[in-house]
Amino acid sequence: MTLETVSTSKSFGGMQGVYRHASEATGTDMTFAVYVPPHEPGTKLPVLWYLSGLTCTHQNVMDKGEYRRTAAEQGVIVVCPDTSPRGDDVADDEAYDFGKGAGFYVDATEAPWARHFRMYSYITQELPRVIADNFPADMNRQGITGHSMGGHGALTIALRNPGRFKSVSAFAPISAPMQCPWGEKALGGYLGTDRAAWARHDSVALIEGGARLDALLVDQGDADGFLSEQLKPELLRKACEKAGIPMILRLQAGYDHSYNFVSTFMGDHIEWHAKRLR
């Protein structure tokens, strides 16, 4: 597999890079960003995955997330994948919440999406191999976080892969996609009518079905316009309480759903992950 370097730029003593490769999982070229902090030659560093939300690529958090200073201070690699396959022959939808930019971190089974929309396999299998082969990554020390749809992805991927991630957090995650319009549209469109298949990509349903995390940090703005209809963090909190999962849910007064919110608390999350990844 050939990894193409799209760009590199020094930042806080480390290197912010953007890379492209031909993906077997999606059948398309995929682009992702990696920040590698300053480190001694031969050192292996912990890895924090950041999964982005609806409409985003790797570029949004790279430009607006303000993660590099803290990642450099804490010695953590940050990996930022895309949210869906791209290309002229990739199926799409006119709506912002389905199709390109809205892969929902599932492996689609319904036509025409099944051909390329295999983001679960890409994030959990293929891209980790690329990271392990090309960067100074200690794959025994991985954490995962994400925003909105990416928060949903971070939670469900961690819940479905016990032991892989030593730390899990989220910014305004779609907590119960089977119970909100975004999730019902995406899961129905990509996976069909079998709600048992949906449950494999729903954090609340996974926890109710026995999946567990060691701990969880969630930040949520209380001025978020999607809070009550789409995000529903109270359902996640109740599921965690019932399952005995230690969850910190911080309702942040006056914050909305934007990257102004994410960037404000990004440093807290990286420090939280770094502590657990040491």
For the range 192-199, what are the long-range contacts, defined as Cβ-Cβ under 8 Å and sequence gap of 24 or more?
192/109, 192/110, 197/109
> Checking phi first, is residue 60 left (phi over 0); if not, alpha (psi -120 to 50) or beta?
alpha
Say how far apart CA 167 and CA 158 lie, in whole Å: 9
Task: Find out whether 53 and 146 touch, Cβ atoms under 8 Å.
Answer: yes
Distances (CA, A) of 144 to 66, 110, 151: 17, 28, 9
Structure tokens at 194: 């079998």
116 catalytically annotated = no
Per DSSP, the residues of 64-130 read HS--HHHHHHHT-EEEE--SS--STTS---SSTTSBTTB-TT-B--STTGGGT-BHHHIIIIIHHHH
29 catalytically annotated = no
Say how far apart CA 178 and CA 175 lie, in whole Å: 9
148 catalytically annotated = yes
**Exactly one of 23, 52, 84, 148 is catalytic; which is it?**
148
**Exactly one of 52, 169, 224, 269 is catalytic; which is it?**
224
**Exactly one of 201, 257, 269, 273 is catalytic; which is it?**
257
Catalytic residue positions? Answer: 148, 224, 257
